[in-house]
Amino acid sequence: MNGRLTGTSDDLESGRLVADRFQMLGLHSAGTESLPGGSPAHPWTMTMEVNVGQITSETGLELTVGNGLIPAQLGTDYLPVLDSPSVKIAAPIVFVGYGISDSGRGFDEYAGLDVRNRIVLFLRGKPAHYPGVASQEDKVRTARQMGAVAYLTVTGPILSAYEARRGVSGAPMGSFGSPQGSTGSEPQLAGCWISTSLAEKILEAGDLSLRDLQERLNRTPAPQSRATDVIARLAWTSTRDAGTLRNILGLVPAAGPPAPSFPEQTVIIGAHRDHLGRHGGTLFPGADDNASGTAILLEVARALTQAGLRAKRALLFVSFSGEEQGLLGSRLYTSRPPRPLAATAAMINVDHAGVGNGRLTVGVSGIEKSVAEEAGRLAGFPDRLDLFGYFPGGDHVPFKEAGVPTITVVSSGRHPDFHQPTDTPDKVKPEILEMVARYVLAVAWQVANAP
């Protein structure tokens, strides 16, 4: 479905597939709106208008130093930020560390630096000593305010514990520059993700070491920003159109009417189905991210309904869109909840569930870890769980922020094709999908029947 970019006809087609399956399984409608072309008797969706940013031409990044050329290949060495505006520029590159400007906290990597009409290069994430938030959107906004004409971003050679656990690599990643809200949102600064090795070559041209610079930044708030000897040329054409985001919902009602002492509650099982789409001829299939979670969502719904099982609490299956563009679908749900958040016992989120090392990573927030451990025993693999606390990213985040307990399930180990054109169905392992589905069913059933 062309990578299921939020707000496109491909997103609609994938939504119809999920809605058709929910209807076939006999799930109850739980939304307030109908899919275009569908029956008004089956309102499966929640919708909101969004921007759809797409790169429509071939993309180019050329790097020169003196009279020489630093080779850069699309996909291997760089990927444009997918909602970048059209661009055709050439400018010197300036390294700005993590790209943070926060003089109030004593960490300003732009202090005394002139980046007007320059292309800035900054590291993903933030150093452990910096107490503030440093989102990609914040960094891009800062670069624009400082007068930069474009940006390059890179995963440094020194990974945080969380990045290492998730198997983050130095490959360039497809991504969007900012959450996409109403159709009036401002276009973003043009940018590229580049590989760690390409960033190292850019700095080595000026006898600098990316690893050494990152080590210093991680030890001390002293800025390590400096100009490089490299000129970058960026060129592509993009469009920005209005579209419609669609969450798809299906409900398995509780076993009986709520008792006075047991008001009707809901357990949400969610997975996002959107991915990055097709840009400039490059397809991002999104098999592991997150067709795998969508398959598990549908399989757990099938297992429950075909077994004729009803729990003490209702089970609401939600196929979110807009996760890749700032958790738009899950934030839509929490802003207009069709089931009261105060009566939501838990939100179980399934993402990146198709590859890895044969173990499960489970993040728990607001629920005792013993619940997650017991589900592993019930599913038949108590010794294959890696339990952690709250995960900082994913569709569970808006629910956690709203006070709803969350359980996040991903397959453990490296996900080497994360946000890359190589995230294809042949990489997904059926035995891992089955293991995750068994676990999600077990933990959902346990939470839905808990006292």
How do residues 19-73 score in pLDDT, each as one tens digit?
A: 999 999 999 887 555 555 544 444 578 889 998 888 999 889 999 998 899 999 9
> Distance between CA atoms of 286 and 263, rounded to whole angstroms?
39
Residues 6+ apart with CB under 8 A from 95: 120, 121, 122, 202, 203, 208, 213, 224, 225, 226, 227, 228
| Lowest mean pLDDT across 95-104, 122-131, 187-196, 217-226 | 187-196
- The conformational region for residue 99 under phi > 0 = left, psi -120 to 50 = alpha, else beta, is left
The predicted structure's pLDDT at residue 29: 80
Tens digits of residue pLDDT in 328-386: 999 999 999 989 999 999 999 999 999 999 999 999 999 999 999 999 999 999 999 99
* Neighbour tally for 368: CB within 10 Å: 10
**What integer pLDDT is reported at residue 256 of this predicted model?**
77
Q: Which residues pair with 272 in a beta bridge?
A: 320
**What is the reported pLDDT for 186?**
55
Q: To which residue do tokens 């294809």 refer?
A: 424
Which is more confident, 412 or 177?
412
Q: Please identify which residue in the block is written with the tokens 């360039």.
A: 172
- Domain range annotation of the chain: 9-53+240-449, 58-236
Does the pLDDT at position 258 exceed 60? Answer: yes
Residue 413 has pLDDT above 70, yes or no: yes
Note the pLDDT of residue 183: 43
Distance CA 165, CA 357 (A): 12
Calpha distance 319→298 (Å, rounded): 9
For residue 136, give every residue at least 6 positions away whose Cβ sits within 8 Å of its Cβ, in sequence order, or none. Answer: 124, 153, 175, 177, 178
435 is written with which tokens?
Answer: 């293991």
Cis peptide before 2 (omega within 30 of 0): no
Global pTM reads 0.89
H helical segments located in 159-311: 161-166, 196-204, 210-219, 292-307
* C-alpha to C-alpha distance for 409 and 436, rounded to whole angstroms: 8
The DSSP string of 184-220 is TPPPPPPEEEE-HHHHHHHHHTTT--HHHHHHHHHH-
Q: What is the reported pLDDT for 178?
A: 64
Please name which of 323, 318, 320 lies closest in space to residue 246, comparing C-alpha atoms.
320
Q: How high does pLDDT run on average in the chain?
A: 91
Residue closest to 192 by CA, chosen among 151, 143, 247: 151
Predicted pLDDT at 168: 75
Show the tokens assigned to 220.
Answer: 């001390």
CA–CA distance, 202 with 93 (Å, rounded to integer): 9
Q: Contact, 18 vs 29, CB < 8 A?
A: no
Amino acid letter, 158: I
Fold for 58-236, please state it: Glucose Oxidase; domain 1 (3.50.30)
Segment 426-437, tens digit of pLDDT? 999 999 999 999
Mean pLDDT is lowest, of 54-58, 183-187, 283-287, 339-343, for: 183-187
The closest alpha carbon to 12, from 192, 381, 274, belongs to: 274
177 — pLDDT class (breaks 50, 70, 90): confident
User: What DSSP state is assigned to residue 392?
Assistant: S
What pairing do the DSSP bridges indicate for beta strands 191-194 and 150-154?
Answer: parallel
Select from 3.40.630.10, 3.40.640.10, 3.40.50.970, 2.60.40.10 the CATH code of 9-53+240-449.
3.40.630.10
pLDDT digits (tens, 9 = 90+) for 79-89: 999 989 999 99
349 three-class SS? strand
SS3 4: coil
Three-point CA angle 265, 266, 269, nearest 5°: 165
